Amino acid sequence: MLVTILGSGGFLGQKLAARLVEGGQAGRRSVTGLTLFDLHTPRPPAGAAFPIRCIAGDLTDPVALAAAIPPGTAVVVHLAAVVSAAAEADLDLGLRVNVRGTHGVLSACRAVGGRPRMVFASSVASFSGGQAAVLADDARQLPGNSYGAQKAMAELLLQDASRRGLIDTVSLRLPTVIVRPGRPNKAASSFVSAILREPLLGLPASLPVPEDFAVWICSPRRAVDWLLQAMTMATAPLGLDRGINPPGRRVTVGEMLAALETVAGPAARALVTAAPDPAIAAIMGGWPAAFTAERARRLGFAEQDDMEAILRAFIEDDLAATRAEREAG
């Protein structure tokens, strides 16, 4: 099957591409070609047994999208987005990329025909409820931020296109993914990775929320597992509802820092200092900190490992490359 990953310059897109190259397939379907698309030309993984095209372009440019999603494309994984704090700061940019860009992706998929599978990376930010919430699978999406609203709008657009038989959508409402490799980004949730990643690099980190602040999280390894499953899973059981809340893990900041101390020692924990940021706390404080995720479990989506396992996986997978990137400037 031909696969396209939009937003493949980001860390999840890079990890998904590497897993496809490593295994040569998603589920029981063999990959015969891969297109990587982002605003800047993505880096291809080495060792592929199939052709890889790397394309730079704007998500709102129909010509660029037509090149990224050629005839015969079977699966499109849509990871491209303006992230939470950036979408809140610039409404027009968020609408252009997250809503109109997704409409453009839908149009490109319609043009190739054959009802391609669309795996859409939605977000827990499309819900509200706050720290005390434990949301069931049928909870109403009522976002309290522009990013979440844009993700919910895109979900509805893609769900209706699936209902009409134009595409075959699976929308994964991803938890906050930690530990992110590389450098901090403009997501409101960026600090959740930073308070773990920076101390592992021997660098200080600021904590903008109290230690009892809870977050619904998953690891990069598990997020890629879920994306791979969504690429080839049977969608008939989903019916009209194409949104899935994967089984992440609720952890408090204090629990994250305790795991950091266990894995890396008290000196690493000491590098994290309180620096309250009401704007970040307001955005993330509206996101639910837990989901029941019963539907995802019935569909076979894997559970998330504990915090110590997440930290050890980051050390194994990404710490050396992240340190090299930082040292290179």
Least confident of 295-299, 309-313, 324-328: 324-328
In which residue are the tokens 């790397």 written?
54
Q: How far is Cα 232 from Cα 230, in angstroms, rounded to an integer?
A: 6
Q: How far is Cα 314 from Cα 312, in angstroms, rounded to an integer?
A: 5
Task: Identify the structural domains of the chain with CATH numbers, from first to last.
Answer: 2-126+135-175+218-244 (3.40.50.720), 190-216+249-291+302-327 (3.90.25.10)
For position 84, what pLDDT does the model report? 85
Q: Is the pLDDT assigned to residue 186 strictly greater than 80? A: no
DSSP bridge partners of 74: none
Q: Give 28-40 pLDDT, tens digit per residue.
A: 999 999 999 999 9
Percent of the chain beyond pLDDT 90?
92
Among all residues, which ones are annotated catalytic?
147
For position 329, what pLDDT does the model report? 66
Stated as kind and residue range, the H or E segment containing 230 is helix 220-232
pLDDT band at 326 (very low <50, low <70, confident <90, very high): confident
CB contact at 8 A, 213 and 287: no
User: What does residue 65 show for φ and ψ, rounded to 5 degrees?
Assistant: -70, -35
Q: Give 199-218 pLDDT, tens digit per residue.
A: 999 999 999 999 999 999 99
pLDDT average, residue stretch 171-182: 96
pLDDT band at 290 (very low <50, low <70, confident <90, very high): very high
The pair of structure tokens assigned to 50 is 């199939």
Quick one: DSSP state of residue 189?
T
